[in-house]
Amino acid sequence: MAFTVQDFEDLVRLLEEKPEWRERMRQLILTRELLQLPDLVRQLIESVQRLSEEFAAYRQLTDQRFAELAEAQQRTEQRLQQLSEEFAAYRQLTDQRFAELAEAQQRTEQRLQQLSEEFAAYRQLTDQRFAELAEAQQRTEQRLQQLSEEFAAYRQLTDQRFAELAEAQQRTEQRLQQLSEEFAAYRQLTDQRFAETNQQIAELVTAVRDLVRRLERLEDWQRGESGRRDGERYEQQVIARAPALFYGGSGGGMGEPHLREQLGRWLASLYRQGIEIDEHDDPLLADLIWWKGDRVMVTEVSLKVDAQDVRRAAARARTLRQVGINATPTVIGREWATPDTQALAQQEGVEWMVGSGLSQGFLEFRQISDGQEEAE
Amino acid sitting at position 263: L
Q: What is the pLDDT of residue 373?
A: 44
* CA 10 to the chain's CA centroid: 104
- Asked if 332 and 234 count as a contact pair (C-beta separation under 8 A), the reply is no
Alpha-carbon separation of residue 233 from 28, 32, 246, 276, 353 (angstroms):
100, 92, 19, 31, 17
Q: What is the pLDDT of residue 219?
A: 55
Alpha-carbon separation of residue 351 from 264, 327, 356 (angstroms):
24, 11, 14
In this prediction, residue 41 has a pLDDT band, given cuts at 50, 70 and 90, of confident
- Phi, psi dihedral angles at 75 (to 5 degrees): -65, -35
- Asked if 300 and 309 count as a contact pair (C-beta separation under 8 A), the reply is yes
Q: What is the pLDDT of residue 213?
A: 66
- Phi, psi dihedral angles at 304 (to 5 degrees): -115, 110
Lowest mean pLDDT among 71-75, 209-213, 333-337, 351-355: 209-213
Amino acid sitting at position 56: A
Give 279's DSSP letter: G
Whole-angstrom Cα distance, residue 108 to residue 102? 10
Across 37-41, 71-75, 165-169, the highest mean pLDDT is recorded for 71-75
Identify the CA nearest to 283 among candidates 268, 269, 263.
263
- Asked if 366 and 290 count as a contact pair (C-beta separation under 8 A), the reply is no
Whole-angstrom Cα distance, residue 74 to residue 81? 11
Identify the CA nearest to 285 among candidates 247, 322, 324, 259.
259
CB atoms within 10 A of CB 13: 10
- Phi, psi dihedral angles at 323 (to 5 degrees): -105, 15
* CA 129 to the chain's CA centroid: 61
Whole-angstrom Cα distance, residue 201 to residue 127? 27
Mind listing the pLDDT tens digit for each residue in 235-293? 999 999 999 999 999 999 987 899 999 999 999 999 999 999 999 999 999 999 999 98
Strand order in the sheet with 295-301: 250-253, 288-292, 295-301, 326-333, 351-354, 357-358
- Phi, psi dihedral angles at 175 (to 5 degrees): -65, -40
Whole-angstrom Cα distance, residue 264 to residue 272? 11
Give the mean pLDDT of the chain: 85
Whole-angstrom Cα distance, residue 154 to residue 346? 117
Backbone dihedral region for residue 68 (phi beyond 0: left; psi -120 to 50: alpha; all else: beta):
alpha
Mind listing the pLDDT tens digit for each residue in 334-366? 999 999 999 999 999 999 999 999 999 999 999
Whole-angstrom Cα distance, residue 318 to residue 327? 7
Q: What is the pLDDT of residue 98?
A: 73
Whole-angstrom Cα distance, residue 18 to residue 25? 11
- Phi, psi dihedral angles at 277 (to 5 degrees): -100, 125
Identify the CA nearest to 267 among candidates 322, 326, 200, 340.
322
Which helix (H) or strand (E) is 215 found in, with range?
Answer: helix 159-240
Residue 17 has pLDDT above 70, yes or no: yes
Q: What is the pLDDT of residue 35?
A: 65
The proportion of the chain whose per-residue pLDDT surpasses 90, expressed as a percent, equals: 41
